[in-house]
C-alpha cells in the first residue's frame, strides 16, 4: 500500500542514528551478558494481530466522530491493515468480526488479504447486537437466553462464523457475549450459565478438528448488574467444561481496576487454558485505550509470565496476540501501529529479564533484588531494537512520522466518502 522508494528515502534519514543507538545498546547489553543480535532476532519473529473493527473510528454510547477517509467495508479495512503492516511489519494477521465483515463471496475477502500479504487470525462472532431482519432479539441475551429459539439462532450464527472463517483460512473462533442482567433477581445465575454452556457445547461440536475456540470474559457492559462470563473464573470453568480445544482469552480492559491480570495469566497458563490476549489499556473498564499507553509496566509483567512459561516449556502454550482497541481521537492506523510496537516493546523488555537471577532471588526470598531484577529489564530503553527490527523487515524506522508524510487519508478522500455508520458496527 505504500511507496517503497519514499519509505527508503525516509529511512535513510534515520539509518545512521539508529545504527549508532543500536550499537550503544548492544555494548550495554553485552556488559549484562546479553547478545543484542539474539534479542533482535526474537523481536523480528514477534507478531500481533489487528482487529478489523479497529481500523474504523470507534465511538462511545454518546457520540461518534467519523474520521476522514475511514474504511467502509472489509476490503477498505484490509487496505488500512496493510498500511499498518507495511509500517511496523509485525501485524500481518487480521482478526475479522462477523457479520460486520461478511460479504457474499468470502473468497474475495481471502483474495484481497492475499494481495496485501495479510492472513486471518481468530474470527469473532457477534450476538451482542441485533442484525437487520433477524428473527429473535438479543435484548435479553443470546447463548444464555431463556428462549430456546433465540439461543438456537445465536448458536447458528457462531456456526456460520466457523464457515466464513474456513473460507478465509482462520482456525479459531472467539466468542464474547454481552449476556447478563441489570437487576438483582432478573436472572437465575445458575440456570443462565447452564443454558450458556449447553449452547456452547453445540458450537464446540461444530468446530473442525483443527480449530480452537476462545472464550472472552468481561466484567460488565452492556449488562451492569451481572454478566454471564464475568471473569476468568467463569471463563476457565466454561473452557474446562467444553474440552481440550477451548481456551480462555484475556482482554486487558475487561477487569476491575487494580486486578492483578498477570496473575490471572499465570493461572491460565498453569492449567493449560490460556487462549491469548486482546491487548489494549484501560483506566476504568473496557476503555479500549491504546496498548501500553497507561500501564506499560502491567503489560511488561504479563510478558514476564509468558516468557517464563516459554522457558519452562509449559504445556499447551500457544497464545494468540491481538489488539482490541477503539479509536475515538486518533487516526486508527497511527494508534494500531503504535500499539503493536508497544506490545512488542513489552515482549522485548521481558526478554531481558535474567531468569536465573530472578529465580535465585525468589528462592532466597530477596524481595528487593527480585524487584530490581525485573526493573532493570523494564527500565532498559529497547527502542533501537524495535526500530532495527522494523528497518530490517522493510518497515519504517519512524512509523508515525513516515505515515504522516504520506497524507494517506487526504489521498483517499474521494475514493472513500464519509459514512455515518461504517460496517465496524461500533457507533
State the Cα–Cα distance between residues 78 and 380, nearest whole angstrom: 35
Q: Which of 207, 268, 206 is nearest to 234 (CA)?
A: 268
CB nearer Mn ion, residue 66 or residue 222: 222
Question: Least Å distance between CB 278 and Mn ion?
Answer: 4
| One character per residue 224-263, x = contact with ligand PSV (rule: CB under 6 A) | ---------------------------x------------
Q: Which of 93, 101, 286, 290 binds Mn ion (CB under 5 A)?
A: 286
Contact present, 263 and 308 (Cβ < 8 Å): no
Question: Could you tell me how many residues make up the chain?
Answer: 427
Residue 374: C-alpha distances to residues 25, 67, 354, 365, 377 (Å): 18, 40, 8, 15, 5
Report if residue 216 touches ligand PSV, rule: CB under 6 A.
yes
Q: Pick one of 124, 325, 339, 349: the residue that binds ligand PSV (CB under 6 A).
A: 124
Nearer to ligand PSV, 151 or 255 (CB): 255
Strand order in the sheet with 246-251: 123-124, 172-175, 212-216, 246-251, 274-279, 320-323
Strand partners, 2: none
> Is 278 near ligand PSV (CB under 6 A)?
yes
Residue 124 phi/psi, 5-degree rounding, is -115, 130
Residue 124 CB, nearest distance to ligand PSV (Å)?
5
Residue 173 cell numbers, joined: 473462533
**Residue from 76, 101, 305, 324 that binds Mn ion (CB under 5 A)?**
324
> Is residue 127 reached through a cis peptide bond, with omega within 30 degrees of 0 on the bond before it?
no
Within 175-194, which residues bind ligand PSV (CB under 6 A)? 176
Strands 274-279 and 226-227: unpaired
Examine residue 77 and tell whether it contacts Mn ion (CB under 5 A): no
Q: Interacting stretch for Mn ion, rule CB under 5 A, among 206-214, 280-288, 394-402, 414-422?
A: 280-288
Contact 244, 275 (CB under 8 A): no
Q: Which is nearer to ligand PSV, 127 or 346 (CB)?
A: 127
Q: Is residue 100 a contact residue for ligand PSV (CB under 6 A)?
A: no
Q: Which stretch binds Mn ion (CB under 5 A): 60-68, 126-134, 246-254, 411-419?
A: 246-254
β-bridge partners, 51: 95
User: Which residues of the shown chain bind ligand PSV in the complex (CB under 6 A)?
Assistant: 53, 124, 176, 216, 218, 251, 278, 286, 324
Amino acid at each position: 500500500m505504500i511507496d517503497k522508494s519514499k519509505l527508503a528515502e525516509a529511512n535513510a534519514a534515520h539509518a545512521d542514528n539508529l545504527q549508532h543507538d543500536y550499537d550503544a545498546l548492544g555494548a550495554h547489553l553485552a556488559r549484562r551478558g546479553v547478545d543484542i543480535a539474539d534479542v533482535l532476532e526474537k523481536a523480528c519473529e514477534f507478531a500481533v494481530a489487528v482487529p478489523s473493527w479497529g481500523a474504523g473510528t470507534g465511538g462511545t454510547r454518546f457520540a461518534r466522530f467519523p474520521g476522514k477517509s475511514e474504511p467502509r467495508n472489509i476490503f477498505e479495512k484490509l487496505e488500512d491493515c496493510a498500511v499498518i503492516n507495511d509500517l511496523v511489519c509485525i501485524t500481518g494477521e487480521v482478526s475479522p468480526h462477523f457479520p460486520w465483515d461478511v460479504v457474499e463471496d468470502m473468497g474475495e475477502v481471502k483474495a484481497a488479504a492475499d494481495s496485501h500479504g495479510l492472513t486471518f487470525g481468530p474470527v469473532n462472532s457477534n450476538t451482542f447486537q441485533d442484525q437487520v431482519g433477524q428473527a429473535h432479539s438479543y435484548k435479553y441475551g443470546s447463548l444464555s437466553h431463556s428462549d430456546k429459539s433465540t439461543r438456537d439462532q445465536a448458536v447458528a450464527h457462531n456456526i456460520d462464523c466457523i464457515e466464513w472463517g474456513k473460507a478465509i483460512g482462520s482456525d479459531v473462533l472467539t466468542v464474547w457475549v454481552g449476556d447478563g442482567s441489570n437487576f438483582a433477581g432478573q436472572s437465575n445465575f445458575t440456570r443462565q450459565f447452564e443454558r450458556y454452556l449447553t449452547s456452547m457445547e453445540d458450537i464446540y461440536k461444530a468446530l473442525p478438528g483443527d480449530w480452537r475456540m476462545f472464550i472472552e470474559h468481561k466484567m460488565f457492559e452492556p449488562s451492569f448488574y451481572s454478566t454471564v462470563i464475568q471473569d476468568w473464573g467463569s471463563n476457565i470453568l466454561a473452557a474446562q467444561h467444553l474440552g481440550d480445544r477451548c481456551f480462555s482469552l484475556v482482554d486487558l480492559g475487561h477487569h476491575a481496576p487494580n486486578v492483578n491480570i498477570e496473575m490471572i495469566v499465570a493461572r491460565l497458563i498453569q492449567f493449560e487454558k490460556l487462549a491469548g490476549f486482546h491487548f489494549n489499556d484501560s483506566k476504568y473498564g473496557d476503555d479500549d485505550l491504546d496498548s501500553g499507553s497507561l500501564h506499560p509496566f502491567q503489560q511488561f509483567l504479563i510478558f514476564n509470565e509468558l516468557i517464563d512459561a516459554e522457558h519452562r516449556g509449559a504445556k499447551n502454550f500457544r497464545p494468540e496476540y491481538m489488539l482490541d482497541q477503539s479509536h475515538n481521537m486518533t487516526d486508527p492506523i497511527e494508534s494500531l501501529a503504535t500499539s503493536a510496537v508497544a506490545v512488542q516493546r513489552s515482549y522485548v523488555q521481558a526478554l531481558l529479564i535474567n531468569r536465573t537471577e530472578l529465580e535465585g532471588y525468589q528462592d532466597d526470598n530477596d524481595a528487593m533484588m527480585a524487584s530490581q531484577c525485573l526493573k532493570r529489564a523494564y527500565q532498559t530503553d529497547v527502542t533501537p531494537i524495535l526500530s532495527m527490527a522494523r528497518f530490517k523487515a522493510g518497515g519504517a524506522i519512524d512509523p508515525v512520522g513516515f505515515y504522516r508524510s504520506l497524507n494517506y487519508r487526504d489521498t483517499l478522500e474521494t475514493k472513500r466518502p464519509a459514512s455515518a455508520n461504517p460496517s465496524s458496527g461500533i457507533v
